[in-house]
Amino acid sequence: MDRSSLLQLIQEQQLDPEHTGFIGADTFTGLVHSHELPLDPAKLDMLVALAQSNERGQVCYQELVDLISSKRSSSFKRAIANGQRALPRDGLLDEPGLGVYKRFVRYVAYEILPREVDRHWYFYRHRSCPPPVFMASVTLAQIIVFLCYGARLNKWVLQTYHPEYMKSPLVYHPGHRARAWRFLTYMFMHVGLEQLGFNALLQLMIGVPLEMVHGLLRISLLYLAGVLAGSLTVSITDMRAPVVGGSGGVYALCSAHLANVVMNWAGMRCPYKLLRMVLALVCMSSEVGRAVWLRFSPPLPASGPQPSFMAHLAGAVVGVSMGLTILRSYEERLRDQCGWWVVLLAYGTFLLFAIFWNVFAYDLLGAHIPPPP
């Protein structure tokens, strides 16, 4: 029986004959068992929790409808808040007899979500379709582009030092600012094997679990916002430098996840979280330091300025601001949050400023731009 059929059955049974807006929990439970309705265990637990949190042992009809339809609304939020205290306290780690994929889903739940109620809800309602295709597709495309240029140039380390590499139509170069697609497509190009390996590893280890929990639209928005902010920040702060690599998007994902862990430290139950936090910060700081070194003290002579490191920092800022807002709203529409509109307004203001800067500031300041390759 699907969702609409269940709601129709509830209406036909006249569970609320006096139109009070509430349904007796025992009545609804009997209906579920008598018709053998395939209701998710998490939803059934939530219904019991809602009934226990009500003095009369009743469930609000609208909350029942929202729970069945998984609608993210104000009543859904109230249902989560009221039922949280009464949900079973046993953790998902104690769930026996799980297959490999379900164990991975359980791992993702504990890795990403800070509350047990959210972990239960995600674990029982998770479906393998659609799969987390965005981060996997981006990583695969970056690897393919790297291999193609490596084979073509016969250079696998520090590819940017090859004179033909920077002629790619994907690289952002200040002399090609009018070609707007370069502000995004530079994420498919990388300095060398080390940068590609670092970005690909983080995208798969952090980006895929985030996408599994929060969905393709939210994580792709966060990743692309970090990429775009990275190139635009470079065009403002390091006006002579090109940009390559997906570090803006990677740092947006990483900083958002790390900030979410810090903000919900007591509720996060991922193992060795302090050690992993320290290792992540050390690796990210080392990557930024390496980018700074390549920018100002290149080990090999080059025909022009080397790629900027400012995209890393811009991505981190996007992750802490926009990303933290996205990750804190697991079961709530973004448009229902005041903080989301504030962050979106700030990001839009930055985009408008960056566009005007690229159109007018270079000529007004007389910036000396190296000739494009």
**Residues carrying an active site annotation:** 247, 312
Q: Rounded to whole angstroms, what are the CA distances from 216 to 36, 135, 223, 254?
A: 33, 9, 10, 16
Residues 173-208: b if buried by 16+ CB within 10 A, e if exposed = bbeebeeeebbbbbbbbbbbeebbebbbebbeebbb
Q: Would you say 192 and 160 are in contact if contact means Cβ atoms under 8 Å apart? A: yes
SS3 for 137-174 is HHHHHHHHHHHHHHHHHCCCCCHHHCCCHHHCCCCECH
Can you tell me the distance from the alpha carbon of 101 to that of 82, in angstroms, rounded to the nearest whole number? 31
Residue type, 123: F
Can you tell me the distance from the alpha carbon of 127 to that of 124, in angstroms, rounded to the nearest whole number? 9
End-to-end CA distance of the chain: 62
Q: Would you say 78 and 63 are in contact if contact means Cβ atoms under 8 Å apart? A: yes
